[in-house]
Amino acid sequence: MRPINKKCVILSAELDFQTPVVNKQDTDRLENYLIMDNFRYKTLIGCYKGNTEASFLVEYDNINEMVTLNKLAQHFDQETILLLDEDRNAVIYNESDNGLTQIPIGKLRNITPKQAQKLDAWSYCPINDQYYGVL
């Protein structure tokens, strides 16, 4: 039987120019927002353009929840969030003054640590000791 996948967003509160202390505070604040809004989430370690960051895989059920997650990303000055559909098709989502941009980039897949090193972006889930990347 195929595992049941939910629509998800991967987002972070960290910024590469911030100090580790500020990034930790922002990550804690984002997690508190997720808890207050009753989102289901997992904590991840991500890498984006060579910078490792704390991030979250957050399930959402409807467009209103997705909009809330996007607003949280904007609140923490994030350029983009990664949307995943039920089949793990990945779309970079960016909402700015210039309008909405959605760029399909592939499918999120289990990858090896060696494969992760070759990618510009990846996520690691410590719960199941698994790396993920969009291929």
All structural domains of the chain with their residue ranges:
8-134
Is residue 131 within 8 A of residue 123, CB to CB? The reply is yes
59-76 pLDDT, tens digit per residue, is 999 989 988 998 999 999
Task: Give the mean model confidence (pLDDT) for residues 6-10.
Answer: 93
Task: Give the mean model confidence (pLDDT) for residues 35-40.
Answer: 95
b/e map of 46-82 (b: 16 or more CB within 10 Å)?
bbbeeeebbbbbbbbeeeebbebbbebbeebebebbb
Residue 5: CB atoms within 10 Å = 13
Length of the chain: 135
Mean pLDDT score across all residues of the chain = 90
**pTM for the full predicted model:** 0.89
Task: Give the mean model confidence (pLDDT) for residues 36-49.
Answer: 93
Ranges 29-43, 49-63, 65-79, 89-103: which has the least confidence: 89-103
